[in-house]
Structure 1
Amino acid sequence: MELASQLRRIGNDLIAVHLIVTDDGLTLIDTGLPGHYADLRRELEAIGRPLSDIKGIVLTHGDTDHTGFAERLRAELGIPVYVGAGDVARAMGEKPPSPPKDRRRLGPVLAFFAYAIRKGGFSMPAVAQVEAVEDGDVLPLPGSPVIIGMPGHSPGSIAVHVPEARVVFVGDAMTTRSVLTGSEGPQPAPFTDDQATASDSLGRLAGLDVDWVIPGHGAPWRGGADALVAAYRRAERV
């Protein structure tokens, strides 16, 4: 699905994968679940681009619902996979800490896990080789993504700012739709390792000149970064 001329979305508000599209090639942001690979192929066919145009994968963090088909592209096509330094082990298969006991509603939880199962969520191959990135790095990929350190959801969570597409991808640093409760709007993401640190990290988006703020779960936000941070702060106080 086209969001903007350089921005394509694969998946839905439960779990999404994104493509940065340039004349020089494509950059893939997150890789969802294994079943999203078929969705990627359909999206590439729709825009007339081959898999070989993907020059790199940037993972916003190392959780398995973001690493889905990364290893397949890396192993079959040699596409490099980048992840925050603090999440290298997680992306390569290390088990994360036990999730916190977040508030839940049965309907949204069942919908999320049913979708995950349909998309191959029981078979989540780890990434065998990754390249660690740090805050401030500018990656040699289409769109020249800039890395913003966003620890909290996980130690190595990052945001990925693509200035020429006027977008920042924030992974699970926040969400606009809780997969556990179904509540909508900017808010803390569930399954977060350290919520206080995640809240502090979100302040790093303030002042960012973008049209789009895109989480890994929930609808893309198109009200500017400052408005998103303000809405998130209001949700924290509820």
Structure 2
Amino acid sequence: MRLGPHLHRIGNDIVAAYLVDAADGVTVIDAGLPGHWRELNAELASMGRAVDDIRGVVLTHGDSDHLGFAERLRRDHGVAVFVHEADAARARGEGKPKASWGSMRLGATAGFLWYAIRKGGMRTTYLTEVVGMADGQVLDLPGAPRVIGLPGHSPGSVAIHVPTADAFFVGDALTTRHVLTGQCGPQPAPFTDDARQALASLDRLDGLQATWLLPGHGTPWSGGVAEAVRAIRTAARA
């Protein structure tokens, strides 16, 4: 799905990953589920690109539903995979999330699990090598992605700001569709290690502007960063 001249999405509102298309190549933000590999190649073809145009994968955090095809790109195509140092072990499968499942509705939860199963989510391929990144770092990749630390969902959760795409990629720092309840709109994400820290981390988005605020789960948000953060804080107090 094309969101802009330099911005594409694969997957759907249950699990999504993104492609930044710049003059010097493609940067992939998160890698969805293993079964998104076919969609990745189809989207690249629609852009007039191929896997060999991918210069790097940037992970917003190290959870399995964001690792998807990352190791396949690294192993078979030599593509470097970047993750915050605090989530490197998680991305290698060396640590497990602390979070509980929390609130659920049967239909939404079953839909999430069924989609994950169909897309290979039960057979996670963890990374064997990662490139560490740090808060404030600008990566030498197409679009010049800038790392903004948003710990809470996981210790190494980050947002990625790509001015070329006019977008912030926020992973699970927030969601616009709760995969376990089906509730839509900006809100705290499920499976969060430290909910208080995750909410406090959103202060780092105050005053920032971009057309797109793009979560790993849910509809792309174009209603303004400040409005999304306000809605999340309201939802957290409810």
Q: Equivalents in 2 of 1:110, 1:230: separation in Å?
A: 30
Residues 129-208 of structure 1 mapped to structure 2, 5 A cutoff: 129-208=129-208
Identity of aligned residues (%): 55
Question: TM-score, with normalisation over the residues of structure 2?
Answer: 0.98
Q: Equivalents in 2 of 1:108, 1:209: separation in Å?
A: 31
Whether contact under 8 Å (2:150, 2:202) holds in the other structure is: yes
Are 2:4 and 1:38 aligned?
no
Q: Residue 21 of structure 1 aligns with which residue?
A: 21
Give deviations 1:152-211, integer Å, cap 9, x for gaps: 000001100001221000000010110000001111100000000000111111111211
Give deviations 1:61-117, integer Å, cap 9, x for gaps: 000000011000000111000001100000001231343241100000000000000
Q: Equivalents in 1 of 2:185, 2:122: separation in Å?
A: 29
Q: Equivalents in 2 of 1:237, 1:50: separation in Å?
A: 45
Q: Residue 215 of structure 1 aligns with which residue?
A: 215
Q: Residue 72 of structure 1 aligns with which residue?
A: 72
Whether contact under 8 Å (2:97, 2:154) holds in the other structure is: no
Q: State the one-letter code of the partner of 1:144.
A: A
Q: Equivalents in 2 of 1:203, 1:169: separation in Å?
A: 16
Question: TM-score, with normalisation over the residues of structure 1?
Answer: 0.98
The more displaced of 91-100 and 25-34 is 91-100
Q: Equivalents in 2 of 1:75, 1:2: separation in Å?
A: 27
Q: Equivalents in 2 of 1:85, 1:16: separation in Å?
A: 23
* Partner SS state of residue 34, structure 2: coil
Residues 71-110 of structure 1 mapped to structure 2, 5 A cutoff: 71-110=71-110
Q: Residue 8 of structure 1 aligns with which residue?
A: 8
Q: Residue 124 of structure 1 aligns with which residue?
A: 124
State the number of aligned residues: 238
Q: Residue 59 of structure 1 aligns with which residue?
A: 59
Per the alignment, do residues 101 and 121 of structure 1 end up closer, same or farther by CA in structure 2, a change over 3 Å counting? closer
Q: Equivalents in 2 of 1:50, 1:101: separation in Å?
A: 37
Whether contact under 8 Å (2:14, 2:179) holds in the other structure is: yes
Question: After TM superposition, which residue ranges in structure 1, 4 or more long, deviate above 4 angstroms?
Answer: none
Per the alignment, do residues 95 and 207 of structure 1 end up closer, same or farther by CA in structure 2, a change over 3 Å counting? same
* Partner SS state of residue 236, structure 1: helix
Q: State the one-letter code of the partner of 1:110.
A: A
CA shift for structure 1 position 137: 0.2
Are 2:217 and 1:229 aligned?
no
User: What is the CA RMSD across the aligned residues, in angstroms?
Assistant: 0.8
